[in-house]
Amino acid sequence: MASVTTFIRNMPASSLQAYFNHTGITLPSPIDWSAPEPEIARVTLRLVDEMNDEDRARVVNDGERVSALADDAGQTALYSVIDDRTIMDDLANGHARSLWMFLNEPVRFRHAEEVRFTDERRRGRSWDGFICDPNCVVRQDQTSLDAFKAALQTRFAANNIHVDIFERVRPTFDGEDCELVQITVYREGLPDAQFAFDEGGALVRRAYRPVFEAAMTYEPSTGVIEVVASDRESRAEMAQFLARDLLGIDFHSEKVPLRQYDLSVLLNSFNFPTDLEDGIERVDVRQLRLMPLDAIGERVTLECTSKADRTIWSMAADRLGTGNPLGGGWVVTQAKLAIKFHPKGDARRGRTLPLTITYPHGCNLKDQTEAEQLIGEKYLRRWGILVDDVQQSED
């Protein structure tokens, strides 16, 4: 019930009332919606406990879906698919915005769920990017869709395929939104079985067919196709089907170049310039892992925790003297940075964005929120650590 508690306690009373009115779920007893909000939340939680199993299960499921898009990443996904953002801007908080979309724009809400699924896996192990022709139009006529679905059905031996195609945006590190077309694919898997209880309470095995989700995006301005799918071998094929059947172009399997990181700037003391409007208090280098240029298989790690009263460079100079690996003959293979922000509002402490960069292609930016990714990418480029010029690339 933790998700239901989060859902109800964070929801304004007016939005909570709209939820029960819209869904038609009957509460076991009436609620005074004019009462103070803490009292409304307490009574609602008690009444959900008193519901029959079917109604309670529906509230639990709805609460999980709405709460999943109430955080920063979920809000970014919601705003990426809505046309009139002012409707959402006037609502009280993230839970209210998520519920409004859930109730009033259920198809767009599902699209936002698909956006989050896609962007959370972007540049990760389930991702590939391909370079294709720019300025193409994604076809959505029945003939093109039928050809696309038929190719997917043959490739995956799937009886049923569902395809969602919709326009969306994605924020970029320079503050502009890039326009995308997303194609989400749901395919039916091979038969499987799982344990369940029958009406008499006996444990039985029931057959079912799982549903697998994959997603593709096409960016007209660059021609880049990105594919998120758990099966590595299928990503190029799915991109080929998209290019051939929905874009009407040839596919050449040219991958987006890998993102390149250069940590040599950290061999010497560095002041990490930032912009005042981003609210960054300071940037600390917490750890450096180094490898000697004249040996294989050797590593040295320097670490300076948050409690230290000096930088990692001064620590290395004082402690190691002439043996300091930062003095030359070594290469930095991994660095851990901490970007510390000023407190906001009444908060006593500012948040910290931890970054782990591994030479030459690794970074944990993909695991951070959308806002943190934008900040991290902006400054890693400015500091000369992210050195490639391609935005859509794999970490």
pLDDT tens digits, one per residue of 227-241: 999 988 899 999 999
- Mean pLDDT in the chain? 91
**Domain termination residue (choose one: 89, 118, 147):** 118
Residue in the block written with tokens 């919601």: 78
> Would you say residue 257 lies in a domain?
no
Q: What is the pLDDT of residue 14?
A: 95
Residue in the block written with tokens 């948050």: 306
Task: Looking at the structure, tell me whether residues 132 and 231 fall in a common domain.
Answer: yes
> Would you say residue 226 lies in a domain?
yes
**Domain termination residue (choose one: 221, 247, 273):** 247
Q: What are 332-352's pLDDT values in tens digits?
A: 999 999 999 999 888 888 999
Task: Looking at the structure, tell me whether residues 346 and 284 fall in a common domain.
Answer: yes
Tokens of 388: 């490639």
Phi/psi region, residue 161 (left: phi>0; alpha: psi -120 to 50; beta: rest), is: beta
The answer to whether 169 and 83 have CB atoms below 8 angstroms apart is no
Q: What is the pLDDT of residue 381?
A: 93
> Would you say residue 387 lies in a domain?
no
Task: Looking at the structure, tell me whether residues 95 and 152 fall in a common domain.
Answer: no
Task: Looking at the structure, tell me whether residues 80 and 40 fall in a common domain.
Answer: yes
Q: Where are the alpha helices (DSSP H) in the chain?
A: 2-9, 13-23, 37-50, 53-68, 72-81, 86-89, 94-104, 106-121, 142-156, 232-241, 312-320, 370-382
The answer to whether 181 and 138 have CB atoms below 8 angstroms apart is yes
Given a cut of 90, whether residue 112 has pLDDT beyond it is: yes
> Would you say residue 106 lies in a domain?
yes
Task: Looking at the structure, tell me whether residues 112 and 192 fall in a common domain.
Answer: no
CA-to-CA dists, residue 216 to 57, 228, 360, angstroms? 32, 6, 26
> Would you say residue 136 lies in a domain?
yes
Task: Looking at the structure, tell me whether residues 126 and 241 fall in a common domain.
Answer: yes
Residue 131 has a CB neighbour count (10 Å cut-off) of 17
CA-to-CA dists, residue 149 to 137, 156, 158, 251, angstroms? 18, 11, 10, 18
Range of lowest pLDDT (5-9, 149-153, 361-365, 376-380): 361-365
Task: Looking at the structure, tell me whether residues 279 and 232 fall in a common domain.
Answer: no
**C-alpha to C-alpha distance for 375 and 367, rounded to whole angstroms:** 13
**C-alpha to C-alpha distance for 355 and 285, rounded to whole angstroms:** 10
Q: What are 13-65's pLDDT values in tens digits?
A: 999 999 999 999 989 999 999 999 999 999 999 999 999 999 999 999 999 99
**C-alpha to C-alpha distance for 77 and 100, rounded to whole angstroms:** 14
Q: How many domains does the chain have?
A: 3
3-class secondary structure, 336? strand
Task: Looking at the structure, tell me whether residues 293 and 374 fall in a common domain.
Answer: yes
Tokens of 193: 């079985």
Residue 345: give the domain boundaries.
264-382
Phi/psi region, residue 106 (left: phi>0; alpha: psi -120 to 50; beta: rest), is: alpha
How far is C-alpha 349 from the chain's CA centre?
25
Residue in the block written with tokens 């609210």: 279
**C-alpha to C-alpha distance for 293 and 83, rounded to whole angstroms:** 54
The answer to whether 98 and 117 have CB atoms below 8 angstroms apart is no
**C-alpha to C-alpha distance for 64 and 6, rounded to whole angstroms:** 9
Start-to-end C-alpha separation, the chain: 37
Global pTM value: 0.76
Q: What is the pLDDT of residue 395?
A: 42
Classify strands 127-131 and 224-228 as parallel, antiparallel or unpaired. Answer: antiparallel
> Would you say residue 259 lies in a domain?
no
The answer to whether 25 and 8 have CB atoms below 8 angstroms apart is no
Running DSSP on this structure, what letter comes out for residue 191?
A: -
**C-alpha to C-alpha distance for 257 and 390, rounded to whole angstroms:** 7
Task: Looking at the structure, tell me whether residues 108 and 131 fall in a common domain.
Answer: no
The answer to whether 355 and 373 have CB atoms below 8 angstroms apart is no
> Would you say residue 258 lies in a domain?
no
Residues 6 or more apart in contact with residue 359 via CB below 8 angstroms: 261, 262, 263, 331, 332, 333, 334
Q: What is the pLDDT of residue 390?
A: 45
> Would you say residue 303 lies in a domain?
yes
Q: What is the pLDDT of residue 394?
A: 42
The answer to whether the Cα torsion of 383, 384, 389, 395 is positive or negative is negative
Task: Looking at the structure, tell me whether residues 72 and 145 fall in a common domain.
Answer: no
Task: Looking at the structure, tell me whether residues 338 and 298 fall in a common domain.
Answer: yes
- Count H helices, E strands: the chain? 12, 12
**Domain termination residue (choose one: 118, 136, 162):** 118
Task: Looking at the structure, tell me whether residues 189 and 132 fall in a common domain.
Answer: yes
Given a cut of 60, whether residue 1 has pLDDT beyond it is: no
